[in-house]
Amino acid sequence: MENTQDKRSEHIVLATHQNLKYPESLPLDWGNKDPIKRAPVVASQTNPRARNAIGSHSGSYAVFRALSIASGKYSPSHRPDLNNTFSPVKIGPHPSWFDSTKMVTVDPLGLDPQNHFKEFFDKGYDIRPSIAVTQAHLQIPEIHDAIKAGRLKPDGKVILANMDIKVTKVAIEPVWFLPGMAARLNVDEGTLRRILYTESGGMHPELITRPDLKVWLPPIGSTTAYIFGNPQDLSNPKIELTCRVHDECNGSDVFGSDICTCRPYLMYGIEHAAETAQKGGVGIIVYYRKEGRALGEVTKFLAYNARKRQEGGDSAATYFKRTECVAGVEDARFQEFMPDALHLFGITKIHNLHSMSNMKYNAIVGSGIEVVNRISIPDELIPQDAQVEMEAKKAAGYFTTEAPKKGEELAKVKGRDIE
Ligand SMILES: [Zn+2]
């Protein structure tokens, strides 16, 4: 049934508009080592005839761009002036960039595309970066506390005398190579495309009418990496690497809401990442916009209420169940794609992984990255109101302090993910 439908839509496409709608479209060869043969992702609207991807740049902000255009404040023909926008540090290329299976949700050539695609820029293609790199200083109260407590010391290099931490930060917009994603999820591409089309309310009909377009820029949030130390050291397995892969929790991360351990764990990861960089290693915090286990804040707050109002009060025993009752699943983050951001930096070995999540751990080692130590949050950093979360983790057999040997990790470490 599914195959029949796919074939039918493919036939309609071939018979009607494939070469009429996008006659200047460059065919993409995902993973090809030669950028010119790989070709740039072109999803801008200034010349629809040149598009070779579904969707639009800027993730969820494409909707706000549309509002700017609708209100007459933004010209739909505007092209970005990329002069002086390039990365201040060299990142890649890494072997992972040219493996069509390692990175299926990030476009490594979306970083400074001017360097890879001059020929196509010169021909007038409106190619836009999907990755940007810049440098900044972080001023964080918990880090100031760590310095005052003597756990960290300013060194003038990573941590300045005024307690600022120097970082390189990398913004990564989603660029989804649909055949690679289907393979990783173990579903056929046609089924994946049809469900994405249906569940987004038919937002992008090309998901089902243009099976020849293999890349989709989904209207979702981006990912940000904060790097402590030299970004080029991330790909050197001999240099100690401390890494936290953190899923957004706005309530805790930004507002200090005390029902979970998200901000304390994030701050502990930053402290350790900075400390590792000071010792000659390197640290990275990757921040994924997957609020409330990627179920969103409305679902999350509904589940909080349901937990607190149930008979007997909030308890570890029903922690997962209440979310599942409200949302339909207990978790929708799909960590299968999370390691793609690590492969952007050529990471092959993580010495200290700050995560108690087995789903994250399994995804990382399953993608070919070695993990030496897993670091859990110290007890003194757990807020009182987050005890239910921690008890639920314990009850689910969630804690894993010893990293299994490479190759046996997937079978050996099994558990639920609630981080
Ligand atoms: Zn949280």
- Full-prediction pTM beyond 0.75? yes
Same structural domain, 40 and 86? yes
Among the options 112, 253, 331, 417, which is catalytic?
331
Tell me whether residue 39 is in a domain.
yes
CB atoms within 10 A of CB 409: 19
Residue 291 Cα to ligand 1 midpoint, Å, equals 9
Does the active-site annotation cover 212? no
Query: For the chain, what is the domain count?
Result: 2
- The whole-angstrom separation of Cα 331 and Cα 296 is 11
Asked whether residue 138 falls in the same domain as residue 125, the answer is: no
In a domain, 178, yes or no: no
| Active-site residue flag, 253 | no
d(CA 64, CA 77): 16
For residues 115 and 105, give the distance between their C-alpha atoms in angstroms, rounded to a whole number.
21
In a domain? residue 233: yes
The reply to whether 353 and 393 lie within a common domain is yes
Residue 251 CA to ligand 1 center (angstroms) comes to: 7
d(CA 261, CA 305): 18
Percent of the chain with pLDDT over 90: 67
Instruction: Look at residue 324 and tell me if it is in a domain.
Output: no
Q: Does residue 181 or residue 313 have the better pLDDT?
A: 181
The pLDDT tens digits of the residues spanning 315-342 come to: 766 767 777 777 777 777 788 999 999 9
- Quote the ligand 1 centre to 193 CA distance (angstroms): 31
Task: Report the alpha-carbon angle 40-94-137, nearest 5.
Answer: 90
pLDDT of residue 415: 34
Q: What is the CATH number of the domain that holds 225?
A: 3.40.50.10990
User: Could you tell me if 167 and 236 lie in one domain?
Assistant: yes
Out of 333, 340, 416, 417, the active site residue is 333
Residue 254 forms part of a structural domain: yes
Distance 317 CA to ligand 1 centre (A): 18
- Tokens 């969820």 sit on residue: 60
In a domain, 320, yes or no: no
For residue 163, report the distance from its CA to the centre of ligand 1, in Å. 26
**End-to-end CA distance of the chain, in Å?**
38
Which residues have a Cβ under 8 Å from the Cβ of 381 and sit 6 or more positions away?
261, 264, 265, 267, 268
Q: Are residues 144 and 22 in the same domain?
A: no
Cβ–Cβ under 8 Å, residues 98 and 92:
no
- According to the model, what pLDDT value does residue 208 have? 95
Predicted confidence at residue 402, as pLDDT, reads 44
Distance set, CA 402 to CA 30, 373, 409, 413 (Å):
37, 7, 11, 10
Do 111 and 258 share a domain, yes or no? no
- A 10 A CB-CB count for 132 gives 17
Question: Would the pLDDT of 11 be above 70?
Answer: no
**Res 354: pLDDT:** 94
Residue where a domain stops, chosen among 105, 129, 153: 129
Cα separation, 419 vs 412, in Å, equals: 20
Kindly state the average pLDDT of the residues 363-367: 96
Q: Is residue 8 domain-resident?
A: no
Residue that is last in its domain, among 129, 161, 193: 129
Considering the domain architecture, whether residues 79 and 159 belong to the same structural domain is answered as no
Interhelix angle 319-327/297-309, nearest 10 degrees: 130
d(CA 262, CA 382): 9
**Within 10 A of 22 (CB to CB), how many other CB atoms are there?**
21
Q: Does 156 share its domain with 252?
A: yes
Domain boundary among 94, 129, 164: 129
Cβ-contact 406, 400 below 8 angstroms: no
What's the domain range around 402? 134-172+220-290+333-412
Q: Do 227 and 271 reside in the same domain of the chain? A: yes
Looking at residue 401, what is its pLDDT?
47
Least confident residue range of 186-200, 233-247, 299-313, 376-390: 376-390
| Same domain flag for 392 and 244 | yes
Give the pLDDT mean for 287-296: 87
One domain for residues 91 and 163: no
**Do 138 and 280 fall within a single domain?**
yes
Per-residue pLDDT of 64-82, as tens digits, reads 999 999 999 999 899 999 9
Residue 319 alpha carbon to ligand 1 centre in Å: 13
Q: Is residue 327 part of a domain?
A: no
